[in-house]
Structure 1
């Protein structure tokens, strides 16, 4: 058997709020609560198990999701509809924009607990200087 990521735990202030937030953006459904976890299963079988922990105990993490062009369009429209602040870069220097790195599209946005969420349509081969960025789309 080859090594695969099966699941990871996402610490958050409210497991249901965070799981449902991401499920809505990605067009997925959360699973049934299991112990302290609200699961969100991704297409590749990886499960994000959202767990409520004390706010001071949350270490902000980064989660990147590879999506199709159509899924990006739908998810991005949900981000805009909710008025969620977004950036073209992980350093939050390019607000209100998406990137076009490696010929795809990418966007960064926070979840309710402050984790950095990212949607990309192509895996990155690096962060070349001068990557094209288009305001708002």
Structure 2
């Protein structure tokens, strides 16, 4: 049997706010799933946002196609309240990077999580 990551719990201060923040960037609509706000990322992966545990900022990386990446940049360009940037060395400079031969960007959510989006695997 192939190993596939099925779901991941992301601790946040408010499960609905946290899940809607990411949904605004990548699409989808969170749904109630027990104590979680669940956001389906693709056919095999769901992110379960939980607000019943301590928040510890994490790093979550997503490989996107070019069209989805462009849609993400369009959202970021319209919202000055969202911190994003080209990466560790340059912080939240509101730019993209070209790591791995594609385009990439890091986005910080209100709970301190760092979401990384890129179009090519290094």
Task: Mark yes or no: TM-score above 0.5.
Answer: yes
Higher strand share: 2
Query: Residue 38 of structure 1 contacts residue 49 of structure 1 at CA under 8 Å; is this kept in 2?
Result: yes
Whether 1:41 and 2:40 are equivalent positions in the alignment is yes
Question: Which residue pairs with 2:61 in the alignment?
Answer: 64
Question: Which residue pairs with 1:4 in the alignment?
Answer: 4
CA distance in 1, matches of 2:48, 2:9: 5
Unaligned runs of 5+ in 2: none
Alpha-carbon offset, residue 59 of structure 1: 1.2
Alpha-carbon offset, residue 69 of structure 1: 0.6
Unaligned runs of 5+ in 1: 125-137
Q: Provide Cα deviations, 1:26-77, integer angstroms capped at 9, x if missing partner.
A: 122212x1221011111241110000136xx211100111111110010111
Query: Residue 83 of structure 2 contacts residue 92 of structure 2 at CA under 8 Å; is this kept in 1?
Result: no
CA distance in 2, matches of 1:90, 1:53: 30
SS in structure 2 at match of 1:42: strand
SS in structure 2 at match of 1:53: coil
Q: Aligned-residue CA RMSD in angstroms?
A: 1.5
Question: Which residue pairs with 1:101 in the alignment?
Answer: 99
CA distance in 2, matches of 1:28, 1:105: 22
Task: Report the structure number with the largest CA radius of gyration.
Answer: 1
CA distance in 2, matches of 1:64, 1:30: 19
